[in-house]
Structure formats: C-alpha cells, structure tokens
C-alpha cells in the first residue's frame, strides 16, 4: 500500500514536470520578434522588460535557443552567444536593451514588435535600424 502511494506520487510529479516544461517551451509569443544582425561566435548583451510578470522570451541564434522569463522591471543584462549572423528575440516585451555590443551588433529590426515602448541601442556600430510601425517608442 505504501509503495503504491509513493509510485503514484512519483507519476504525478513526473507528469507535472512534463506539463510545466511544455508550457514554458510554448510560452513565448513567436509572432512578436526583434531581429539583430551580429557577428558569429560573439557574446551579445541583451536586457528586457515586459508589460506583465513571468513573460516568456526566447532568444534564437542559429542552432542555439535560450528561454528566459521576464518581468515588468528591467532584468539584469544577460549574455547570449551568437551562432551565425542573426539573433532573434521572440516574446511580448515592451522594453529592449542591446547596448554596448560595439562592432558585434551591426543592424537591428524591431518592426515586428510594434508594442515596444523603450529601446536602448547605444554604443553599437549600427548600419541599419528598422523601426517601422513602432509608434509607441
């Protein structure tokens, strides 16, 4: 009886962990994104702010994908390693920081995140910036 109860608890815990992982993996809004042109194999510093707590964000560069959770306050600057020359940030963020990347960041396209209200992109060597439709900046 005791062993059956322990087994039941383990099975429930297992399925809860699976469900939580699946929810996080599917959580980032893949329709809202920011695209960066970066140098391959470099560390890129990014910071985010969302309208709501516990907002999932996904950073993809080549074969690398990293999921983070963002709150309504600015998070600490995080470093993401580029894998190729494109890095894409998916999610419902209203604030985006990509400052102080120097020559490692050369172009920024925020046009697919029209809800963006704050953008910090100083101390980079940007040759292109597309902010079409971003009327809340």
pLDDT of the residue at 4: 64
pLDDT-based confidence at residue 22 (cuts at 50, 70, 90): very low
Q: How far is CA 72 from CA 75, 80, 96, 106, 123, in A?
A: 9, 21, 12, 28, 25
Question: Using one digit for the tens of pLDDT, what is the confidence trace for 29-75?
Answer: 999 999 999 999 999 999 999 999 999 999 999 999 999 999 999 99
pLDDT of the residue at 5: 65
> Any residues with CB less than 8 A from the CB of 95 and at least 6 apart, and which?
47, 48, 49, 50, 74, 116, 117, 118, 119, 120
Which region, left, alpha or beta, applies to residue 133 given φ > 0 means left and ψ of -120 to 50 means alpha? left
Question: Using one digit for the tens of pLDDT, what is the confidence trace for 91-103?
Answer: 999 999 999 999 9
Supply the DSSP symbol for 102: B
HSE, CB side, 13 Å, CA atoms: give it for residue 46. Answer: 29
* Residue 27 C-alpha from the chain's centroid: 11
Q: How far is CA 89 from CA 7, 15, 34, in A?
A: 41, 29, 5
Domain boundaries, the chain: 28-130
pLDDT of the residue at 26: 60
For the chain, percent of residues with pLDDT exceeding 70: 81
């Amino acid at each position: 009886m005791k062993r059956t109860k322990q087994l039941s608890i383990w099975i429930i815990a297992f399925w809860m962990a699976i469900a939580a992982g699946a929810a996080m993996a599917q959580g980032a809004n893949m329709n809202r994104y920011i695209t960066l042109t970066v140098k391959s194999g470099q560390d890129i510093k990014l910071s985010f702010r969302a309208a709501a707590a516990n907002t999932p964000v996904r950073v993809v560069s080549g074969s690398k994908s990293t999921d983070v959770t963002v709150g309504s306050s600015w998070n600490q600057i995080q470093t993401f390693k580029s894998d190729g020359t494109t890095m894409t940030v998916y999610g419902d963020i209203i604030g985006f920081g990509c400052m102080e990347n120097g020559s490692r960041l050369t172009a920024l396209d925020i046009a697919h995140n029209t809800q963006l209200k704050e953008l910090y992109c100083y101390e980079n060597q940007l040759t292109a910036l597309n902010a079409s439709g971003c009327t809340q900046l």
